[in-house]
Amino acid sequence: MSQIYNFFPLSIYRDKIILSPENKKEMIEEIIKMKKDSDKGLKPVQNAWTGDTHGHEYLFKNEKFKIFYEEVEKHIIKYMDHFELDVSKLEFYFQRSWATLSNSQEYISPHDHSQSNLSFAYYLKKQKGDSEFILIDKLKHNEFIPQLFTSVSADRNKIFKKRTTSNIARINIDPEEDDIIIFPSKTLHGTQKNTNNNERISISADVSILAKESKNLEHLTPPFSEWKKFTNN
């Protein structure tokens, strides 16, 4: 009897973080204030406003977001459980974190965060039907003919009887307000263009993972306590 094995999956975490209405209102107001205070000249046309390119890349230092980041930590640990990791041997750090504010016709171009290990997107304010979150498979393990999975002409000529996770290179997720999505930072991702007049606000962060004890763990980054900064730099 024939079998198909699906190896090397990309595991994406999705859940909800429910904050009090008062806390959410406070966070939204703070993000809007950051946007108003920032240099608008740095924002490319049709790109959503992102705090990390406007001097607001350490949102976790703001006391108004304290409860939120405490909740995020719990979800990061739950995500690690999926991989059967012993988190007691690891240290987790929020490396940077920022808000994104998107209005009509604005979007986030596909990109990755290869300088960190994990990333997340949390939807603080989002209306149903707003632009979707995009994940793109850079490796395309199953693409035995170059560009087959991304070919417009292949779709036009109905080469595929049906699109499944075995024959696509991109997938869209339609998050709801309060959703958090966690994924490996090296994953290529972005958003669709916001096609309505709703303001969408999300919070993202990059997370770095270090070994608590680096002895015999050559592939994990050693703890910061063992690092030495250049003396003449």
Topology at the third CATH level for domain 13-132+174-212: Jelly Rolls (2.60.120)
pLDDT of residue 19: 98
Lowest mean pLDDT of 4-8, 45-49, 54-58, 171-175, name the range.
45-49
Structure-block tokens of residue 82: 């999926």
Break the chain into its structural domains and give their ranges. Answer: 13-132+174-212
Residue 42 clears pLDDT 90, i.e. is over it? no
pLDDT digits (tens, 9 = 90+) for 127-169: 887 889 999 999 999 999 999 999 888 889 999 999 998 999 9
What is the percent of the chain where pLDDT is above 70? 97
pLDDT of residue 34: 93
| Cα gap 24→67, rounded to integer Å | 10
pLDDT digits (tens, 9 = 90+) for 182-231: 999 999 999 988 888 888 999 999 999 999 988 888 889 999 889 999 99
